[in-house]
Structure 1
Amino acid sequence: MDWITLLTNPTSGKGRGARFRDAAAARLRAAGVDVTTVEGRDADEALDLARAAVAGDTEALVLCGGDGMVHIGVQAAAGTGTPIGIIPSGTGNDVARYFDIPRKDPVAAAERVLAGTPRTIDLARSGTQYFTTVLAAGFDAIVNERANRMTWPKGQMRYNIATLAELRIFEPIPYTLDLDGETRTLAAMLVAVGNGPSFGGGLRITEGAVLDDGFLDVVIIKPMSKPGLIRTYPKLFKGTHVTHPAYEHHRVRSVTVAAPNIVSYADGERFGALPLTVECAPGALRVLA
């Protein structure tokens, strides 16, 4: 590999992004790679830079940041054959978790870019948008909306506080789902659509999802009590919530999710208001890992 583009969110992980970029770039250059470093002033400019890099025949688009930065890079690289690499420096880093990429050592992550054989994986697609991890479309999305309005605290604690705040009005949501042509109308606490198994820093809501099987994993959490949610929440970190009677799982190629007043999140980013149709895009992305 002779030339890569390193796209960075310098503010990710409380400023780790800039430090990790510099360390990773130094290691890549020491290996003889020509590294072009770029960063956008906002998400739109970052996406423009990513698309320009891919169009300019860079050999790889390496993303230094959290899942939000990976999300941006994926929009540019999907379907092009240009592989992405990941130098994780965010809070959740779920995509890095999928590939066991070191999350605290940018030099070791750069070594994975240098040594990695491109792995072809699926993406989830809705219209022209893609995501890699999980689409949150229920209580979890409502928590994200609240957390994004909060200025304090930072990191995972902000989401924990937002969760506690939303528990005060924790009620089932009326959904209409189309699962590969089968229509379901039901009440549920959340519906999650997984390309991968986890989101939110290791919450394995769609436990068992495989990145290259040609399917999406749809998880429904049916009505449950507030104490039941609090007891079940820690199980999400190990994926052991799958035995709960409120848990329901489907593997589909396409799903439409409709519910009133819900704005969905994917890869931790605001994705779009429901209803949304999401389909599997087999083999859409190559990852150096």
Structure 2
Amino acid sequence: MPRAIVLTNPTSGKGRGARMRYEALPRFHGAGWRTTSLTGRDADEALDLARAAAAEEPDALVVCGGDGMVNLGLQAVAGTGVPLGILAAGTGNDFARSLDLPLRDGPAAAARVIHGTARTVDLARVGGRYFGCVLAAGFDAVVNERANRMRWPKGQMRYNLATLAELPVLRPLRYVLELDGVERQVEATLVAVGNGPSFGGGLRITHGAELDDGLLDVVVVKPLTRRELIRTYPKLFDGSHVTHPQYERHRVRRVSVASSGIVGYADGERFGPLPLTVESVPGALQVMA
């Protein structure tokens, strides 16, 4: 009898995480799976629970929540061979999007775990910490840092207001990049490092990035005016921004990104101030897809 350990962020998606768990569990039971349901009181406890769960070697560690909960699951199962299952209940769900998994649909997501097969994909690693989607290290990271300091409003509107607050002070940033050992200095509006293609709920900033090619996609968007940035933003949803003359893309196995005063964010989580070094870890994850 297969076994799934289900770790949930019940507050994800304004309570959608708890609802999806209750929708999904009967599907597992009906298919003959045993389940153990866990909820951490905070992120640190949830990570401890995830690591302990992975050590039990279940048939799947299933995370129910948004990209933050998926990122937590990555830390627990990367390199262990324990497959990760995803019940995508968040606002962005970018890692689930990159795998074409059901979004905000508990029964369908559970069915994908039950009837799917494990796919081997790469992860990106900063020090000892993994991410699956995109490391933001420019204007987008500045917005994220401001939004994290705001207590109101909740959800996507907080990031919209943070963007509006940062636009008037938009300025080019000076970067030192080391791309597979080759140093380059550049002025840019943003630099993003992608293991997958999107962040922010489907913004395909690293359009063309593949999860199983053993490479990172480093995107540099050279200086844009406020008007150009606003005009280009909608193109991120379909990847058509790649034709912009200020866009460039590099495919590397390892990159170091340095810029004064910038904090890097990956999978929506704070990874720390630059400089940061990112390396591709081929085949690090088994995911039920």
Q: What range describes the TM-score normalised by the shorter chain of this pair?
A: over 0.9
Work out the CA distance in 1 between the residues paired with 2:120 and 2:154: 34
Residue 131 of structure 1 aligns with which residue?
A: 131
Query: What is aligned with 1:265?
Result: 265
Tell me the residue number matched to 2:57. Answer: 57
Shift of 1:156: 2.0
Question: Could you tell me how far 1:56 is from its partner in structure 2?
Answer: 1.3
Cα displacement (A) at 1:243: 0.4
Residues in 2 aligned to 1:253 and 1:37: alpha-carbon distance in whole angstroms:
37
Please state if 1:212 is matched with 2:212.
yes
CA distance in 1, matches of 2:241, 2:61: 36
Q: Does 1:181 align with 2:178?
A: no
Which residues of structure 2 form unaligned runs of 5+?
Answer: none
- 1:184 offset after TM fit, Å? 0.5
Is it true that 1:15 corresponds to 2:15 in the alignment?
yes
Aligned to 2:244: 244
1:98 Cα deviation from its structure 2 partner: 1.1
Distance in structure 2 (CA, Å) of the matches to 1:102 and 1:53: 24
Q: CA deviation at 1:105?
A: 1.3
3-state DSSP of counterpart to 1:207:
coil
Deviates more, 1:248-257 or 1:157-166: 157-166
Q: CA deviation at 1:155?
A: 2.2
- Paired residues, what number? 289
Indicate the SS of the match to 1:223: coil
Percentage of identical aligned residues: 67
**TM-align CA RMSD:** 0.8
Structure 1 residue 87 and structure 2 residue 87: aligned? Answer: yes
Distance 2:33 2:72 in 1: 23
CA distance in 2: counterparts of 1:131 and 1:101, whole angstroms = 18
Whether the 8 Å contact between 2:87 and 2:104 is mirrored in structure 1 is: no
Q: CA deviation at 1:163?
A: 0.9
Alpha-carbon distance, 1:101 to partner: 1.3
Q: Find the aligned partners of 1:286 and 1:249 in 2 and give their Cα distance.
A: 27
CA shift, 1:255, in A, is 0.1
* Corresponding residue for residue 201 of structure 1: 201
Tell me the CA shift for residue 160 of structure 1. 1.6
Distance 2:133 2:212 in 1: 13
Give the C-alpha shift of residue 275 in structure 1.
Answer: 0.5
SS in 2 for 1:220: strand
Where 1:284 maps in the other structure, the secondary structure is strand
1:147 positional shift: 1.1
Q: 2 CA distance for matches of 1:249 and 1:38? A: 41
Quick one: distance in 2 between partners of 1:249 and 1:186?
13
Conservation of the 8 A alpha-carbon contact between 2:90 and 2:104: no
**For 2:9 and 2:231, how far apart are their aligned partners in 1?**
36
Please, which moves more after superposition, 205-214 or 23-32? Answer: 23-32
Matched residue type, 1:284 = A
Question: Deviation of residue 153 (structure 1)?
Answer: 2.5
- 2: CA distance, partners of 1:170 / 1:64: 36
Q: Does 66-75 or 22-31 show the bigger shift?
A: 22-31
Cα offsets for 1:127-157 (capped at 9, x unmatched): 1000000000011000001111222222222
TM-score, scaled relative to structure 2 = 0.98
> TM-score, normalised on structure 1?
0.98
Name 2:66's counterpart in structure 1.
Answer: 66
Residue 6 (structure 2) aligns with = 6
After the TM superposition, which residues 160-179 of structure 1 pair with which residues of structure 2 at under 5 Å, given as runs? 160-179=160-179
- Partner of residue 140, structure 2: 140
Name the counterpart of 1:159: 159
* Whole-Å separation in 2 of the counterparts to 1:172 and 1:36: 49
- 1:26 counterpart SS class: helix
The structural deviation recorded for 1:110 is 0.4
- 1:98 corresponds in structure 2 to 98
2:66 and 2:91 in contact (8 A); partners too: yes
SS class of match (1:135): strand
**Structure 1 match to 2:119:** 119
Q: Return the letter of the residue paired with 2:60.
A: A
Q: Distance in 1 between matches of 2:54 and 2:40?
A: 15
2:229 counterpart residue number:
229
